[in-house]
Amino acid sequence: MKTMIVVCALALGVPAAAQAQAADMATIAAQQAAMAKLAAMLGIWRGPATSTTPRGEIRMTQTERVGSFLDGTLTLVEGKAYMADGKVGFHAFGAISYDAATQSYWMSSHAQGRSGRFQLTLTDTGWTWEVPAGPATIRYVASFAGGKWTETGDYVAPGQPPRRIFEMTLSRVGDTDWPEVGSVTKQ
């Protein structure tokens, strides 16, 4: 009898589970339209970057690899900075998404042992986003124009003027089919 109840419960639950997995085409369309506004950042980028730390100024060659994923509903970003000796001095990964319900953009960021989810605000030429840093905030501002990606990061503490801690100027060097290429196939 118990087995029959479990089988019936499982059979009745299948349509509900299948329903939960059905694609929400209206939401997908809204996400695709919103993410299309970030198309200028897709591709491979390279250029000089400067980071100011308590130990002083660090100059690097910054690279960014940016690709569209999940039918254009997600933008993935890999940032990697190379030191003068060729060693990797910084490596980060981000996923930018659009929440159609709240009509807001979000970046999930992972770098240097830290991670978080931060609201991204679009501007006429790019975006801004902020990372809490104790009583202060680190504010990033990015702009895309003429094949250039410029971005700054300012440390903003209460009662103090903003202090520049990061700056990069990248040139677009090519297209990329990352991350779609190389996915597991049916066979």
Domain boundaries, the chain: 2-174
Q: What is the pLDDT of residues 37-46, one digit of tens each?
A: 999 999 999 9
- At residue 114, the pLDDT reads 93
pTM for the full model?
0.85
Residues 110-115, mean pLDDT to the nearest whole number: 94
SS3 assignment, position 136: strand
CA distance 27 to 102: 11
Cα-Cα-Cα-Cα dihedral sign, residues 10, 11, 12, 15: positive
Residues 134-155, mean pLDDT to the nearest whole number: 97
Reply yes or no on domain 2-174 having CATH 1.10.287.1080.
Answer: no
- At residue 5, the pLDDT reads 42
SS3 assignment, position 70: coil
